[in-house]
Amino acid sequence: MAESLHRKFELDKIRNIGIIAHIDAGKTTTTERILYYTGRTHKIGDIDEGNTVMDWMAEERARGITIVSAATTAFWKPTTGPLEGVEHRINIIDTPGHVDFTAEVERSLRVLDGGITVLDAEEGVQSQSETVWRQADKYKVPRICFVNKMDKLGADFFATIKSIEDRLGANPAIMVLPIGFESSFKGIVDLLSRKAYVWGSDELGAKYDVSDEIPEDMKDQVETYRNKLIEKIAETDDILMEKYLNNEEIVPEELRKALRRAVIAYKLVPIYAGSSLRNKGVQPLLDAVIEYLPSPVDLKEVKGINPKTNEEETRQLVENAPMAGLAFKIQNDPHVGKLTFFRVYSGTIQAGSYIFNSSKNLKERVGRLLLMHSNQREEIQEAFAGEIVAIVGLKDTGTGDTLCDEGKPIVLEKITFPEPVISLAIEPKTKSDQEKLGFALKRLMDEDPTFQVKTNHETGQTIISGVGELQLEVKVNTMKADFGVEANVGAPQVAYKETVKKQAEGEGKYIRQSGGRGQYGHCFLRVDAKPRGEGYEFVDAIKGGAIPAEFIKAIEKGVKESLENGILLGYPVVDIKVTCYDGSYHDVDSSEIAFKIAASQALQSATKKADLTLLEPIMKVEVTTPSEFMGDVIGDLSSKRAQISGTEERSKATIINALVPLAELSGYATTLRSMTQGRASYYMEPSHYEEVPKNIIEAMLAKSTFTGRVSAQ
């Protein structure tokens, strides 16, 4: 890379943005166009040809989807408005659209200042668009919407905007109107400037015509929507509202400033349109990123907790504040080893310096600093507030850890990730694979917080868990490609959980007398049901020293181990409160191990009386099918214990929304294809956990008893 990308920019000239959307809405294609028009690449990458810059993994290119979020830096001089010709730096993260890789979206949104939501003009707002929109709401990320694929058959700009209002609850500010639609789409009219942007003379879309000549048949529509836009912007600003009500003229510059404030305060979402694949409409979108999305200066500060005082503190997002930032992603690079992606919120960070990990209370050395462009990198010596860089050399820092100045510690808000809902057994094919497997799994767990590995002590099997089958399939392929591990994989299993429904008590007494010193542990435990999703709680309610404090820890350990290994069918027990309220001890014979065993016995006894039941993951499923197959699809879903929550018509298709137990969805893609002549598609994401019907639990218990008997023989 000849020219250094690391030029120091004023903070107000930096934009940290992410591109988020449903699978196949055109995120990566849009990013590829942005890189081409900003001069970062000299050739437009194509997903179908497998030569995109942002989807660089072999697995991504083979499947034509984004799996890991990729970061890059580009530079853009706006072509219109008051910032025309002023160079800005845009740090871009292209995120996956597939729900199995939702962790990538979650962690990217946590460190971004703004986002572009890409929507398919024919499909409108789809399920994953809704999910990522809610994730962005959680982190209060201001957004711009880009209605992509305006050239697609069935494209409907206004229907898409209606779905933005209805399904996302957003307040859209229509900034442009499309000139033509489907095959006749050729450009847009900017409502504020009343200028027409027409593409066509240049196949790559880098050159386009801008004129004051609006197509004759659009003039009335442009005025109508321009007035609506002015009214919407004026509603967010008292001074403009007064001018508007008094019929005074509001100049475009005032409207732009007010709109910027409204977008940053998340009162309005500007809407743009285009067709990334046909190279139309991307440059005005880039102008809008600079014009309306926030710079670090607009966000002013980041909040956190001082680990010494446990009180809230803030950091100004400027270079001369104490250094603070968030490690939001770990990636293993075959050339440089472990990369820690890092957003610098305040201060500066130097290569070769020491920094403090306040989340884990330890010091780390920054080996090298890299500026990333997808999987290429440029070494830099220093990074400043507002930048996104990769650090080489951090050993113990994980996703969501805060790195800061040791003298001024702060812990920033962590990143929350969804629970795994599906698992499968994996075993190495040969002895040499056995050694490599542990190393590969550890690396993959570091990279992806939703990917978990456990060992089943009874069977000796290694169990990998995640949020979807595709995610696990990709992990197994990555192990083979990147780590050379050949493994046999079992069929996917549903991640059930166990819980109790009422209060009950149990006693555990462990006494062993042998020649020398004996073993004595005795405790009483009470279990209570907790609301769904609240996890596990242990309460020490021992009075009068019935059990010495040093043995309480052993009791808690025994309880925790038993809960993890399950009681009914070997699945983890959740949403339970365990209280240790009485017991006894022996001055000589009592030991930690004795109390641990007693706690396990007491817990078994109490939970069996507490109406122990099984919980299963319920998936939110959205099936898009041609209308003539709707009856068959609904009938099939009903046979899978589905709750149909509604249907809606969208162009020539019917969308069926349902809640379905994951256990019933094995091989559903094949079933759906054969039922609809291959014309239907479906999307699913984890929704919640629900109690398994009694008859199914009984069947599972009978099966486990039978298989246990067979294996015993």
Q: What is the CATH number of the domain that holds 601?
A: 3.30.230.10
Strand boundaries in 110-183, DSSP class E: 114-120, 143-148, 172-174, 176-179
Report yes or no: 198 and 218 within 8 Å, Cβ to Cβ: no
How far from chain centre, in Å, is Cα 496? 22
CATH number at residue 35: 3.40.50.300
User: Would the pLDDT of 58 be above 80?
Assistant: no
For residue 531, being part of any structural domain is answered with yes
418 vs 85, more confident: 85
Question: How many CB atoms neighbour CB 216 within 10 A?
Answer: 7
Question: Do residues 322 and 460 both lie within one domain?
Answer: no
User: Would the pLDDT of 93 be above 60?
Assistant: yes
Domain boundary among 412, 431, 463: 412
- Closest-CA residue to 107 (of 341, 309, 283, 347): 341
686 vs 223, more confident: 223
pLDDT reported for residue 711: 34
461 burial (CB, 10 Å; 0-12 / 13-18 / 19+) is: middle
- Closest-CA residue to 621 (of 659, 671, 673): 659
pLDDT reported for residue 64: 52
Q: Greatest CA separation found in the chain?
A: 104
**pLDDT per position as a tens digit, 158-214:** 999 999 998 888 999 999 999 998 889 999 999 999 999 999 877 788 888 898 889
Cα gap 539→554, rounded to integer Å: 13
How many structural domains does the chain have?
5
For residue 564, being part of any structural domain is answered with yes
Lowest mean pLDDT among 51-65, 147-161, 380-394, 521-535: 51-65
Question: How many CB atoms neighbour CB 559 within 10 A?
Answer: 24
What is the pairing mode between strands 172-174 and 114-120?
unpaired
pLDDT reported for residue 446: 84
Residues recorded for the chain: 713
Going by pLDDT thresholds of 50, 70 and 90, the confidence category of residue 47 is low
Question: Do residues 190 and 55 both lie within one domain?
Answer: yes
Cα gap 487→73, rounded to integer Å: 38
Question: How many CB atoms neighbour CB 439 within 10 A?
Answer: 12
pLDDT reported for residue 526: 96
Question: Do residues 548 and 559 both lie within one domain?
Answer: yes
Cα gap 338→332, rounded to integer Å: 5
Question: Do residues 195 and 156 both lie within one domain?
Answer: yes
Question: Do residues 674 and 686 both lie within one domain?
Answer: yes
Looking at residues 316-336, what average pLDDT do you find? 86
Cα gap 368→390, rounded to integer Å: 8
CATH number at residue 651: 3.30.70.240
Q: Which helix (H) or strand (E) holds 632?
A: helix 630-638
Most confident by average pLDDT, 103-112, 352-361, 415-424, 676-685: 352-361
Q: Which residue has the tokens 């979108």?
A: 285
- Closest-CA residue to 254 (of 245, 244, 246): 244
CA 340 vs CA 77, 326, 337, 416, 471: distances in Å: 30, 10, 10, 18, 21
pLDDT reported for residue 259: 95
How far from chain centre, in Å, is Cα 323? 26
pLDDT reported for residue 712: 32
CA 424 vs CA 466, 495, 579: distances in Å: 9, 9, 34
Question: Do residues 485 and 503 both lie within one domain?
Answer: no
For residue 315, being part of any structural domain is answered with yes
Lowest mean pLDDT among 11-15, 141-145, 427-431, 519-523: 427-431
Question: Do residues 432 and 368 both lie within one domain?
Answer: no
Going by pLDDT thresholds of 50, 70 and 90, the confidence category of residue 72 is confident
In the numeric block, which tokens belong to residue 611? 């109406």
3-state secondary structure of 225: helix
pLDDT reported for residue 69: 55
Question: Do residues 607 and 668 both lie within one domain?
Answer: no
Domain boundary among 471, 495, 519: 495
User: Would the pLDDT of 458 be above 60?
Assistant: no
In the numeric block, which tokens belong to residue 247? 């019929």
For residue 262, being part of any structural domain is answered with no
For residue 417, being part of any structural domain is answered with no
Report yes or no: 603 and 560 within 8 Å, Cβ to Cβ: no
Backbone angles phi and psi of 575, in degrees to 5? 50, 55
Q: What is the mean pLDDT of the chain?
A: 85
Report yes or no: 209 and 198 within 8 Å, Cβ to Cβ: yes
Helix-, strand-, coil-residue percentages of the chain, each rounded to 5: 30, 30, 35
What is the pairing mode between strands 402-404 and 324-333?
antiparallel
Report yes or no: 259 and 265 within 8 Å, Cβ to Cβ: no
533 burial (CB, 10 Å; 0-12 / 13-18 / 19+) is: exposed
Report yes or no: 341 and 95 within 8 Å, Cβ to Cβ: no
> What is the domain extent for residue 364?
306-412
- Closest-CA residue to 454 (of 439, 465, 444): 465
Q: Which residue has the tokens 């010494």?
A: 308
Q: What is the DSSP string of 587-631?
A: TTTB-HHHHHHHHHHHHHHHHHHTT-EEEEEEEEEEEEEEGGGHH
pLDDT reported for residue 670: 80
Q: Which residue has the tokens 């209370």?
A: 361
pLDDT reported for residue 55: 43
For residue 700, being part of any structural domain is answered with no
Question: Which residue type does 625 have?
Answer: T
Question: Which residue type does 452 have?
Answer: Q
CA 675 vs CA 126, 397, 402, 509, 583: distances in Å: 23, 49, 50, 58, 61
CA 704 vs CA 614, 700, 712: distances in Å: 14, 6, 12
Report yes or no: 702 and 695 within 8 Å, Cβ to Cβ: no
Q: Name residue 210's beta-bridge partners.
A: 197
Question: Which residue type does 677 have?
Answer: Q
Domain boundary among 462, 495, 528: 495
Report yes or no: 487 and 432 within 8 Å, Cβ to Cβ: no
Going by pLDDT thresholds of 50, 70 and 90, the confidence category of residue 82 is confident
User: Would the pLDDT of 1 be above 50?
Assistant: no
CA gyration radius for the chain?
Answer: 29
3-state secondary structure of 438: helix
pTM above 0.85, yes or no: no
Question: Do residues 399 and 429 both lie within one domain?
Answer: no
For residue 373, being part of any structural domain is answered with yes
Q: What angle do CA 99, 100, 105 make, to 5 degrees?
A: 60
Question: Do residues 276 and 164 both lie within one domain?
Answer: yes
Question: Do residues 331 and 285 both lie within one domain?
Answer: no
CATH number at residue 367: 2.40.30.10
**pLDDT per position as a tens digit, 669-682:** 788 888 888 778 88
Q: Which helix (H) or strand (E) holds 682?
A: strand 681-691
Q: Which residue has the tokens 């409108």?
A: 124
Which residues make Cβ contacts (< 8 Å) with residue 513, sequence separation at least 6?
Answer: none
Question: Do residues 685 and 607 both lie within one domain?
Answer: no
35 burial (CB, 10 Å; 0-12 / 13-18 / 19+) is: buried
For residue 31, being part of any structural domain is answered with yes
**pLDDT per position as a tens digit, 400-456:** 899 999 999 999 988 777 778 788 888 888 888 888 888 889 888 888 888 888 876
Report yes or no: 409 and 307 within 8 Å, Cβ to Cβ: yes
pLDDT reported for residue 101: 65
